[in-house]
Structure formats: structure tokens, C-alpha cells
Amino acid sequence: MLLLSYSTDFVSCISKYVKIHESSNCIFFDLTQETLKELQIFINDTENDKCQDSVALDSRDDYKSKDAAESETSEDPPNKRAKLETSITDVQSEEEAAAVDKSKDGDSRVCVVCLGILQGLCGTTQAIKIAEAVKAGNYEFDTLVLSVSLPAQLCVREHSCWLYVKKEVREKGLVLDKDDVIQVKEAFKWIMQGMVTKELGGIAVVTKVSPFEVSVEFTHPETDADCHFLAATCPDCFKPTKNKQSVFTRMAVVKALEKIPDAKFLKHYPCPPTQPTSSCSPQVQCLHVSVFVAGRYNKFCRSLPQTPWVIDGERRMESSVEELIAAPILSAFRADGFNFSSSGREDVDVRTLGNGRPFAMELLNPHKSRFSKEQMKQLQETINQSSDKIKVRDLQIVTREAMSRMKEGEEEKTKSYTALVWTQKPIQREDISFIDDIKDLTLDQKTPLRVLHRRALAVRQRAIHSMSTRFLDSHHFYLRLKTQAGTYIKEFVHGDFGRTNPNLCQLLKTDTDILELDVESVDVDWPPPVPE
């Protein structure tokens, strides 16, 4: 008897909670059907056993009297159990529910908790829209993760309903923990994952990790109005940010709800929430994780910058190393954008020879992500045939973690250069031979004037490990240097008005300048070489 009483009260309490959603024909109500049905069957079976026992003890006339009494009161409002039975049997489709709602008072009623998300925005129609967005993007993927972004006020409304349900449950002498309540976001995912899988022809919608994410973002026009009272009660939780249109972010609202006492919340916000005037608006976005491509490039032109050269909003060069490499790669991967990085950079008038300079590209939201080694080799050939100013080698797909190896210990790496030097004073071969014997020369280099607009003023110590010379004529010679990465070679040659010490002018006791400079090698053992 105690178990029966407990179960009856429990179902009655749940029925009262479900009525909040039932009045709006919310799909969340459908989720509870199986559980409620099982509980109802259990109660009915128990009551039938009880009735059978009563028949054995009571007379037939007493039973008829009881039945007649029930018939006389049949026109009274149904009890909670009868209401539950009616609700279970009268399950409607999304379209039917919407039609019924719209017929009431000539307008649709939006659920006070989910703001319509679990009504018309959660079902076959929405699954078809999501699938169409995925197919339109023409992505390459095996699985996908369905993520959901809800308006911040949903936290407020869920909290209000939770306080209401907690009060009702407590009055029944029952215990219900907040963790037992299914959140709107989880309910949406449970409903939609199977539907989206079906619409995509069986492609798995996973719950953990996938490189492809389909995001459904819901927005609502009343977000600020619903959350406004929190700004007054918990002002320290809401701080303006440059990138956010509203201070009422989901994280900030959750933080405020954790701080505000229940009594204070109920003083400022209705429980249960008021009827919203409109439902949420969904927006579907697809995003594939970045793909990383690495390689080495040679630059053969002395009028080609590494990156687009724009000064005061005006472009100075028609192209760049970055653009010549990126254009074919972007096209092949069908990416929305990219980030280009390299192990150091050369000036616009400097060539990069030898094995080339390591570079890497992060491809943003690539629609195609799988390439065989042969396809990468073909892509490399496409880049090399597109221009005679650059050449790429060792092109390959790498991991995000491997990208860091290009920058690790960058200043400890060495680089080799060849410079064509001019001297004001005529020189002989013997005048420059002593340079070959200089080893590990330490320089103090103040930030060069030519880069002071983009680099902080500082004095940096750099090392020239070795030098060798090749005499040309009385005013020219070639200087080969092996230096610490980050050494300013031009400033070492001409002195930069004394900002680099020591410098070649001081060593030769005459003014010197650099006419040409080539990078011969960048000694970074990454990315690994790809066999031809």
C-alpha cells in the first residue's frame, strides 16, 4: 500500500510538471511518454490486484453501488491520473500539435521553458534543414558532432521551472535532484541525432570527438529582457566585451544563477515563467577542424615580399610568396581561409635558395580534407608550375602538434647567408682575409630603424659563428656567414648608424654596404623530407 501510494503521488507530481510542456504541445512531453506509461501500467496492475481482493471480500451490491457513484461523478473535472492517461493516448505529430495550438485563441502558444525549441524546431522538418545545410557545404567526412547553442535566458527559465517543480515535489514528500532533470539541450540532441543520421543516409552522429561539427544556434529577441534583473542583482558577473553583442552570455548568466539565492531570484522573476511572445530562431552552421599543411619554399625573385606588402592602405607589390603558395592549396582543400607562418622571413629583395625555408599553413574550415601522398605531390607540382618566382618542396599534411616544432628553439637554430658587399675604400685580397678566421663573434643589435615600426625597441645579442670571403674586385667581395637565427645581416654589414656593434665597417675601417643577399640554408629539421 505504501509503495502504491508513493507511486501514485509520484506520477501525479510528474503529471503536473509535464502539464507545463503539454499545454504547449512541447516535444519534451513526448520524451516522457514511455516512462509515464510504464508507471501508469504498474499502478493500474497494482490497483487491479487490490480490486480482485476486494471482490472476494465484498458483496456484489457494494461493488455496483461504488460503480454507480463513480458514474454520477464522471462529469466532474478528471483527476490527475485520468489526465495522464488522456495525455499518453493522445500523442500528436508536430504539425497536428502546431495546428491545435494555433486554433486556441487564434495564435500559437510557445513553451515557457524551451521557447519553442522542443516544439516546431525539433523534429523531422528541422532534421531535413540540418541535412540540407550539410549537403550544401559538400564536406568530406565520416562522422559528425551535433552541437547546440541556446539563448542565455533559457538558463533563467529552466531555473525558474526547476524551483517550481522542486516546490511541488517537496509538497508530495518526494525527493528530486536537479541532476535528474533533463536539460533542453540534451533533449534536443537525443531527439535530433537519430533523425539527422537518417536524413544523411546513415552517417553517424557521434557524441564525443569528430573533425566535423554541425552547430545549431538558437537566438531569441527577449534574451536581454529576461536576463536584465540579473545585471542588477549580480553586476560583477556581467562585464562588457569587445567581441560580444550582449553582456548576457550563457556563461555569465550561469555564473549569476549560481550566486543568487532562490528567494532573491523568486522576488525578481516569475515562477513558473511568463508566456513568451515568440519562439527561438535557429541558424545552422557547419565547421570542419583545421587541416595543417607544411613544406619548404625557395624564392628566386628580388622583388617579391613574403607576405602581402601594404603600406598606408596601398598595395606595393602585385603578389607575395604567401599568396602564390596559398592559392592552389586553398582551391584544392576548398578552405574558407588560412593562416601562414614560416621559420623566419626574408626581405623583399632577398632570395631564399638551397633547401628552402620551412613554412606551414593552417587551412580554416576545409571542405575537403583527405589527400593521398600522390595527390599532395600533384598539388606541389601545380604550385611550382603556377610561377617561376617560387618553388615548393616536401609538401605534406601534418598535425597541429607537429606545427610547434617549426618554432621550437628557433633562435638556437643556425642560418647561412651569402652577401655581396661594397666597400668605399679600395681593397686587396689580403685586406679581407682576416675575416675568415673570426669565429663566434657576438653582436649587440639594437632594433633596426627599418623594422622599428613593427618591432619593439630593444638590444638583442646575436652570434656570427663563422665567416668566409671571396674577393671580386677592389670594391666588391662575397661574404658567406653562418649565424644564429634572428641576426640582422644587412645591419651587420653597414652598421645601421652604429646601432649594431661590432659591424663590418668597424672591422674593415671603411664604409661598407650590402648590394645583394641570399639565404643559403635554414637549418631546421622540419618538416621531414618527402622522397621524390
What is the dotted CATH code of the domain comprising 415-522?
A: 3.30.70.3190
Closest alpha carbon to 392 in 335, 436, 331, 327: 327
pLDDT given for residue 44 in this prediction:
60
User: How much of the chain exceeds pLDDT 90, in percent?
Assistant: 63
Q: What is the mean pLDDT of residues 489-509?
A: 97
| Reported confidence tier of residue 403, pLDDT bands at 50, 70, 90 | confident
Distance CA 32, CA 287 (A): 33
| Reported confidence tier of residue 293, pLDDT bands at 50, 70, 90 | very high
Higher pLDDT, 400 or 38: 400
* 227 close to 156: Cβ distance less than 8 angstroms: yes
Give 145-174 pLDDT, tens digit per residue: 999 999 999 999 999 999 998 888 888 888
* 308 close to 338: Cβ distance less than 8 angstroms: no
Q: Is the pLDDT of residue 59 over 60?
A: no
pLDDT given for residue 412 in this prediction:
76
pLDDT given for residue 64 in this prediction:
43
pLDDT given for residue 243 in this prediction:
65
pLDDT given for residue 85 in this prediction:
34
| Cell numbers placing 425 | 675604400
Residue 29, H or E segment: helix 27-31
Dihedral over Cα of 485, 487, 488, 492: its sign: negative
Paired sense of beta strands 337-342 and 212-219, if any: unpaired
pLDDT given for residue 362 in this prediction:
97
CATH architecture label of 290-411: 2-Layer Sandwich (3.30)
Write out the catalytic residue numbers.
347
Q: Which residues contact 37 (CB under 8 A, 6 or more apart)?
A: 88
Cα-based distances in Å from 45 to 12, 87, 223, 244, 337: 17, 19, 47, 56, 64
pLDDT given for residue 109 in this prediction:
86
Total Cβ atoms within 10 A of residue 16: 17
Q: Is the pLDDT of residue 435 over 90?
A: yes
pLDDT-wise least confident of 34-43, 293-302, 317-326: 34-43
Alpha helices in 201-339 (DSSP H): 223-233, 250-259, 262-268, 321-333
* 334 close to 288: Cβ distance less than 8 angstroms: no
| Reported confidence tier of residue 26, pLDDT bands at 50, 70, 90 | low
| Reported confidence tier of residue 416, pLDDT bands at 50, 70, 90 | very high
Paired sense of beta strands 439-446 and 314-315, if any: unpaired
* 343 close to 357: Cβ distance less than 8 angstroms: yes
pLDDT-wise least confident of 238-252, 256-270, 320-334, 445-459: 238-252
Give bridge partners of residue 297 from the DSSP assignment.
357, 392
Same fold, 290-411 and 415-522: yes
* Max intra-chain CA distance, the chain: 136
Distance CA 273, CA 194 (A): 31
One DSSP character per residue, 345-391 reads ---TT-EEEEEEEEEEEEEES-S-----HHHHHHHHHHHHHH-SSEE
pLDDT given for residue 410 in this prediction:
72
Q: Is the pLDDT of residue 205 over 80?
A: yes
Give 173-198 pLDDT, tens digit per residue: 888 887 888 889 999 999 999 999 99
| Reported confidence tier of residue 242, pLDDT bands at 50, 70, 90 | low
| Reported confidence tier of residue 199, pLDDT bands at 50, 70, 90 | very high
Average pLDDT in the chain: 83
Cis peptide before 240 (omega within 30 of 0): no
Q: Is the pLDDT of residue 29 over 90?
A: no
Higher pLDDT, 458 or 45: 458
| Cell numbers placing 203 | 552517417
| Cell numbers placing 291 | 587541416
Q: What is the mean pLDDT of residues 451-466?
A: 94
Q: Is the pLDDT of residue 92 over 60?
A: no
pLDDT given for residue 37 in this prediction:
58
Paired sense of beta strands 351-364 and 512-522, if any: parallel
Buried/exposed 480-501: b ≥16 CB within 10 Å, e otherwise: bbbbbbbbbbbbbbbbbeebbe
Distance CA 271, CA 294 (A): 57
| Reported confidence tier of residue 125, pLDDT bands at 50, 70, 90 | very high
Q: Is 407 exposed, middle or buried (0-12, 13-18, 19+ CB in 10 A)?
A: middle
Closest alpha carbon to 357 in 303, 417, 302, 447: 417
pLDDT-wise least confident of 23-27, 36-40, 275-279: 23-27
CA angle 493, 495, 501 (to 5 degrees): 105
Closest alpha carbon to 252 in 281, 279, 223, 277: 223
| Cell numbers placing 424 | 668605399
Give 338-359 pLDDT, tens digit per residue: 999 999 999 999 999 999 999 9
Q: What is the mean pLDDT of residues 232-258?
A: 84
Secondary structure (3-state) at 531: coil
Higher pLDDT, 460 or 44: 460
| Reported confidence tier of residue 49, pLDDT bands at 50, 70, 90 | low
Cα-based distances in Å from 121 to 118, 153, 177, 424: 6, 17, 28, 79
Q: Is the pLDDT of residue 7 over 70?
A: no
Q: Domain limits of the chain? A: 109-287, 290-411, 415-522
